[in-house]
A and B are shown apart, each in its own frame.
Chain A
Amino acid sequence: MEQQRQEGEPRSPAADSGHYGRQTHHHATPVPPGQRAPDFTLKATPDQELTLDDFRGKPLVLAFYPADFSPVCGDQMALYNEVLPEFHRLGAELVGVSVDGVWCHTAFASARKLHFPLLSDFEPKGAVARAYGVYRDGEGTSERALFVLDGDGVVRWSYVSPIGVNPGADGILTALEGLAAKDAPKDAPRAVASSPSASTSSEARP
């Protein structure tokens, strides 16, 4: 539950990558923007499957991550859990994907009180990560990779983070705002204008 990052450790890929075994370079290429996202059907719970089609009509954030229970406090999934209302405000859904089994996902989601689905890319192992070009053969896990898909299932933005570095949520929010701006009628206010973060700047305050 609590992170192991010590104050003496730098926040670099080396900080927690040892957990995932040796560093190897992957040679696959992530599905680029403009290309249709590979379909998937994966278990979200022991008796429920989700497919890409289930998310048609709204943007989808696919967050591939190496493993459940990575030893950090504000880990990537815990952070996205807190930002979830902003993703929803932008009309998007979020799913996490790792090669962990459904029971592991269930325990992880319960421990972190996650309010979004975790998909199990377990059998055949990593098949979806491979299809998206973000599987690491050496480790047997996916990259720490983000994809933002539009409502038609086309990849609009992607990012592969160094494996030990939590990429945060700012890139996802910017991509979703870009989608909302493109999809909105020209004279309609942009979705970004209603984001509470707009009120964080001192200029916006009375």
Chain B
Amino acid sequence: MNGELTPPVSERDHVHGRADAPVTLVEYGDYECPHCARAHPIVERVRARLGDRLRFVFRNFPLGEIHPHAVHAAEAAEAAGALGKFWPMHDTIYEHAQSSPHALDDAALVRYAGTVGVDAESVREALDYAVYEDRVRADFMSGVRSGVNGTPTFFINGTRHDGAWDEESLLEALEGRHSTR
């Protein structure tokens, strides 16, 4: 309801871009959500167009009961992140997510880990032992606290963006916020 990002972006987050960028875009997403998969290339293009003016942050918001692979996909991305490859894994998961019903099962996630250059076995173990379960749940609860009510939900400079998120709309919202600073 309040729509303010809680907690704010910090060093625990996965961040693309400069810390001193004037605009910060935070996405709460679910790797198995088709709308998030559609948002992924849009965010890529917006990032390319804004360059150093934009910092992008991704937080997990898996709806595990309706998307049975979403939690493990998030944990796999975190596991790759612990090995320095969060963004390659994030991109790979979204690029494949909607390609087949098995695109996000454990075997596929482990395979993606191999393709982005992290030790696939360590990702498998992280899934088997739910090493990043708490981390993913903490992201989820921060989203709940921030008023996330579906995925994807975006925050621009800490305030929930309730408007459209096609490329032009998102860009307009990001630049509008930018120009008011």
Q: Which A residues fall within an 8 A CB radius of B?
A: 1-3, 5, 7-12, 72-76, 78-79, 81-83, 86, 112-115, 159, 161, 165-171, 173, 195-197, 199-202, 205
CB within 8 Å of A: which B114-148 residues: 134, 137-142, 144-148
Q: Which B residues fall within an 8 A CB radius of A?
A: 1-2, 7, 10-12, 30, 33-35, 38-39, 42, 61, 63-66, 134, 137-142, 144-151, 162-166, 169
Cβ-defined contact, B35 with A197, below 8 A: no
Cβ-defined contact, B65 with A78, below 8 A: yes
Cβ-defined contact, B137 with A196, below 8 A: yes
| Choice from A8, A12, A73, A161 contacting B166 with Cβ under 8 Å | A8
User: Which chain A residue has the least Cβ–Cβ distance from B165?
Assistant: A7
User: Which chain A residue has the least Cβ–Cβ distance from B66?
Assistant: A78
Known: A10-B164, A73-B35. A196 touches B138 (CB 8 A): yes
Residues of chain B within 8 A of A12, CB atoms compared: 162-163
Cβ-defined contact, B164 with A8, below 8 A: yes
Distance in angstroms from B132 CB to nearest chain A CB is 14
Residues of chain A within 8 A of B146, CB atoms compared: 170
Distance in angstroms from B160 CB to nearest chain A CB is 9
User: Which chain A residue has the least Cβ–Cβ distance from B33?
Assistant: A73
**Chain B contact residues: helix, strand, loop or mixed:** loop
**Chain A contact residues: helix, strand, loop or mixed:** loop
Give Cα A99–Cα B138 distance, bound, in whole angstroms.
Answer: 35
Q: Which 7 A-B pairs have the closest CB atoms?
A: A74-B150, A202-B10, A166-B149, A197-B141, A168-B149, A201-B7, A200-B138
Distance in angstroms from A30 CB to nearest chain B CB is 15
Give Cα A79–Cα B164 distance, bound, in whole angstroms.
Answer: 21
List the count of A-B residue pairs having beta carbons below 8 Å apart: 113
Cβ-defined contact, B147 with A200, below 8 A: no
Give Cα A1–Cα B165 distance, bound, in whole angstroms.
Answer: 21
Cβ-defined contact, B12 with A74, below 8 A: no
Residues of chain B within 8 A of A73, CB atoms compared: 30, 33-35, 63, 66, 150-151
Distance in angstroms from B96 CB to nearest chain A CB is 18
Cβ-defined contact, A170 with B145, below 8 A: yes
| Choice from A76, A83, A205 contacting B144 with Cβ under 8 Å | A83
User: Which chain A residue has the least Cβ–Cβ distance from B146?
Assistant: A170
Known: A73-B63, A170-B147. A7 touches B12 (CB 8 A): no
Cβ-defined contact, A168 with B148, below 8 A: yes
User: Which chain A residue has the least Cβ–Cβ distance from B152?
Assistant: A7
Cβ-defined contact, A159 with B1, below 8 A: yes
Distance in angstroms from A12 CB to nearest chain B CB is 7
| Choice from A3, A7, A197 contacting B150 with Cβ under 8 Å | A3
Residues of chain B within 8 A of A3, CB atoms compared: 35, 150
Give Cα A112–Cα B66 distance, bound, in whole angstroms.
Answer: 6
Cβ-defined contact, A200 with B151, below 8 A: no
